[in-house]
Structure 1
Amino acid sequence: MPNTKGRGAKKRAAGSGKRPARKSVRRSSSDAKADGDNKEEFDVEAIVGDMEYRGVHYFEVKWRNFDESENSWHPKADLGCPGLLHQYMQTRVKNTADLTRFYDLLQSAEGFTISVVNTVDSVECPENFTYINESVYSEDVPRPCTPMFWCECTNGCSSDCECAERGNYDEKGLLKDEGCARIIECGTHCKCDESCANRVVQRGSNARFEIRRFAHKGWGVVAKQQLVKGAFVAEYVGEVISYDEAERRGLENRGLTYLFDLDKEFTGDFSDFSIDAKSHGNISHFFNHSCDPNMSAYAVYVEHRDPRLHRLALFASRDIAAGEELTFDYSPPVAEATGLKADPCHCGSDKCRKFMYY
């Protein structure tokens, strides 16, 4: 795939659940009936995924009366539902690559288990990539840390709080205004605690992901649960680098760059800084492009209000079904007029522009 992760506007292409209590695996109703069990309620509804790691075969369990966000993983030895296991094994497509190294790479990932599937080729793992949970700053990039203000709210932020006055989130933590220029969250000096409704991106994502290999696009990510419009999906993290360094890397890795310019609120000719997720990144490193994406990027401020160094957060721009690929637009239409190099686009959407520009 053409990995030109969303460059900024101006010179570059525009950039413009709680976990359930630990459950023991019980038999499905079909398995129980085979044993003459008269119980009417059973925990396991289905087995929906598997992975092999260090000689242990793990299976993803869908719990009865819980949605996909509550799925959990268990070794085969702990499963007590042979009927469902047999049914799953009859239909599963086995991986064509050994993914042990990939799972080693994901051991530092925050949040829920990330599963990996490759049924199309022999590629095992990205080379020279380190999984990180927050961006790292190059030595020549400043790290502002003094907030312009902070709130005194002690029981969540009220509507007249300076931090929450824009009202970016509703009571469920969903983004309310798709047209908002910025998202300002409560910072480290604010008096409210982590449960404040105005602390969404900084709490991290609760979304469940599967990294999947695609025939014409390479690695991509599918949602393992339904995500509603406005839900925070992931932060785009990587190395925060200067404009000059971004230019150098862009030329060096032409057509294979993960640079995302921090220009969401920048009005000059060029943005001062970029995020490069090529060698250091999180789940967002694997998100593919689509000309009809289901995610949009927003500038988010937590530690400071410097518009040159905002954080980048990806939110669901519409309802996303479980099993649907997660995508954002790397190369919006404005790029077509810049005379940049074009590569064929393989997003497959009905609105495909046929080419990607970088």
Structure 2
Amino acid sequence: MEVYIDDMLVKSLKLEDHILQLKECFETLNKYGMKLNPAKCSFAVASGEFLGYLVTERGIEANPKQITTFLEMPSPKTTRETQRLTGRIAALNRFISRSTDKCLPFYQLLKGNKKFLWDDSCEEAFKQLKSYLSEPLILSKPVVRETLYLYVSVSTAAISGVLVREEGNEQRPIYYISKTLIDAETRYPAMEKLALAVVTAARKLRPYFQSHAIVVMTSQPLWTILHSPSQSGRLAKWAIELSEYDIEYRPRTAAKAQVLADFIIELGVENSNTSSSTPKWTLHVDGASSRQGSSVGLRLTSSEGEQLSNHTDLVSTLQTMKLNMRH
């Protein structure tokens, strides 16, 4: 049984179990003098609306009313209409792969007090989003104690992830997450952005992380970065935060579902588009010797003036940035 404020859902795999569970539910309600409105109740149904979503034996589906309303929306002509658009997108975020990247033109339009201008990039993003939402949106339901898999991706403006489960030879999405990078986060090395994506997923999907073993599928050495003996600062905090969960890191393999393949392909396209704008870093090496001994000191300086000397920061940046080496 699931309860959220005044909404209740009694779910059963078998009809005979359902009768017994309903009986137990009614006895509990009678015990505390609570009443139900028959007009708002549905019994022994295979699917139904709960908390704005359509719950079926296949999983959680987007509410058809919300989808229809969105598809019938005209292009916004004012700031208020754009805010209404982003509000409707927020209600469907869990169904949308990399929603922040898809909706970035809308968010940029609302940033600051600039003049409203719905340009071609906004219109194209709006059309692509409608096309995406016109396809059936179904999220799978995990089985108790089964292993779940997390894929993460980064772009210059956002981090995203998708939690999936394996069913036979297929991978089915359970939940999509996406977050806009703010201020200093936009200047994190790519490796730290990936680590932040895992941390964000763990915070957003905490119930899943608490009740399932999680395998993070990544081609990057995230485990090494998070568990380096010399780590400090935010990476150390993230490693401690993630240590309460059963998380394993594995090399990313070929996607077994088209929806997941699209997620990974988008990552490749994004990286190729943004690589040319990656800031150049200069590596300064001090190899001088003296009576006190000799050592090599390393310091990375970006074209924007940012300096890194911490070992972990250096490793993650060296793996992702273009270097101009100086002695």
TM-score norm. by structure 2 comes to 0.28
Richer in helix (by share): 2
Larger radius of gyration: 2
Q: What is the TM-score normalised by the length of structure 1?
A: 0.26
